[in-house]
Structure 1
Amino acid sequence: MQETLFYLRVGHLLTYSMSDSNTTDFINPSTFILLGIPGLEAAHVWISIPFCTMYVIAVLGNSTILFMVKTEPSLHGPMYYFLCMLTVTDLGLSTSMLPKMLSIFWFNSKEISFSACLTQMYFIHCFSVIESGILVAMALDRYVAICHPLRYSTILTNPVVAKIGMTMVLRGGMLTLPYPFLARQWQYCRTNIIPQPYCAHIAVVNLACDDTRISSYYGIFVLFSVTGLDLNFIAMSYTQILRAICSLPTKDARIKTFRTCSSHLFATLACYIPGLFISLMNRFGQNVPMHFHVLISNMYLMMPPMLNPIIYGVRTKQIRGRLLQLFTHSGA
């Protein structure tokens, strides 16, 4: 029997056939087996090189952003506070999956306990939802800055920024909390083999022999209530932003104003566009080998944590200037 299910971020369409895995006679195993990239086990060491590189770039890049914002008083503002929230979320997301993934590639350490699997599942999905929410908060920041510049400092005060950030964290934590609890209640009596290098919700639920429709329906609910609402809010914000930009009197003013939100726009596209591509690939690419689906999906998860510090480092004048100062002083 073959099932096709949705989920946010990790939530591309995941197609998995139970007949593709070896089955054993057991009930509720204490451990799961993560296969890594099925069909490419012989190349795991080589596959680990780009993933390790992406992880190192993500850790160094996001840590640098946090350091610069903390040490540079001119960066103490709402836009950069939201950027710090995004970098912390990216660090959490990449660290939730990459260390275990690399241990599979390097040391063939495929076993993961049931509790550890559910914990990893929770944090991967939680950070994914939080990141989507932070991008919405950053869209709000750009909307206020461009459409209501005179009221910017009075609307987005430090307490308001903190409350927005806390709201997004609580939303992510509460919405994804049912996933491990639902997964824990199912009976697992077919196989303990997960054809991925990490514990995604749908990959685990697919191993259950119970009726897991409630997990599937809740995953679809999260997909549409989070991704759908967030994208609509971002789209509405940029509609108003573009109207305000088009009303400016000169071309130079329009270009200069648009550049102030270009970093956030690129970060948003880097987050959502690859996910749309993967969803389409999984929907219409039934003849694509499974290992290609898994490989591309894992690359997609690591792209935003790696790209976001690069995007903001290159596109944001204040961060770029501060970064050049750090390298200049260190080289002097």
Structure 2
Amino acid sequence: MVLFSFLLVWNNAPAATCARVKSQPDAWVAAKTDALVTAAHAAYEDDERGGPVYGKVVSRIADTIEQCKLAEDDAFAGRYREFVEYVEAASLDQRPDHELGFKVSDRQYFEETRALVQIPEFLTDQGFLRSVSRYETLERAKSFLRQLNSARPPDDQLVFFSYKSRHLGTPDNDASYGRLLVVVPGDAGRGVPDKWVQFGVPDPGARARVRNVSVVSTLAGEDGTSNVYFKDFYRTYRRDGSITIKGRWELGYGDDNCAQCHKSGVLPVFPVDGSVRADERRAVETVNERFRSYGWPRFAGYLDETKFGPGLGSANVDERERRFGSGFGATTVARSMTCTAC
């Protein structure tokens, strides 16, 4: 009898919740919006601790929307369309088979986009992989790339440089900020995307290996948009000295929601000051010019980016003053450009 009573109460709990939501929809949406904003702000300030909390908040709201069939309720969905669509899209990566945050499963995405995100074969050369895997031999890797360029036509030149990232480590090493970026030109007319291939590089003298290699591919369209595709790979260092590369997801390490940070697809590169050699600074300008040529990003139907709103900028105070003049930081406009205030 006690068990029956417990089950009866438990089964009625969702119904009671749905009744409250539908009787006071404005109050419920307002409360959940506040919870979302608070959790998102905490995640922005400290992703390691705040990120999981934000995920739970999104999941709980998504569960209520699903249990109460709010997306199918014409009155509710019509009044709170943006809220419902945002939560549905933002909660996708909480599913174990949707870590990328796309409409399809991770397996389906990688199967369908394999040719678009595969690392070019010449970048899997064993000598190159050994050279790019240590800071001390990085110049050898660049010499290899320069040799490749000597046999490539002017409009098909690889653009490359090494630098230090301002903010992010690699997926396998949060403390590793070294990078070698190689931009491989494509041919949109033949359906071949540009590939931005980025190798994590250990710090000078570091003994720990960095495994990650990221690929962001962009296929420009004639309508001023471009489709963007992502994949992370891991290098495996064998005892015989060979290095193999395989998808991070295929190796069982899961993946991340790439579009959460890459709302613009490829991101412009803003290296740590002084981390790019003088003879490679022009390459930084070249890749950022290429980034600006891609137009509005699309994700080939795997994600509807319009549900998320604009991404945050990365300009700091110094950069803003260079653009708008000294003293800009003291103006009302500048004070209003503090995204974290909201």
TM-score bin (small chain): under 0.3
More strand by share: 2
TM value normalised by structure 2: 0.24
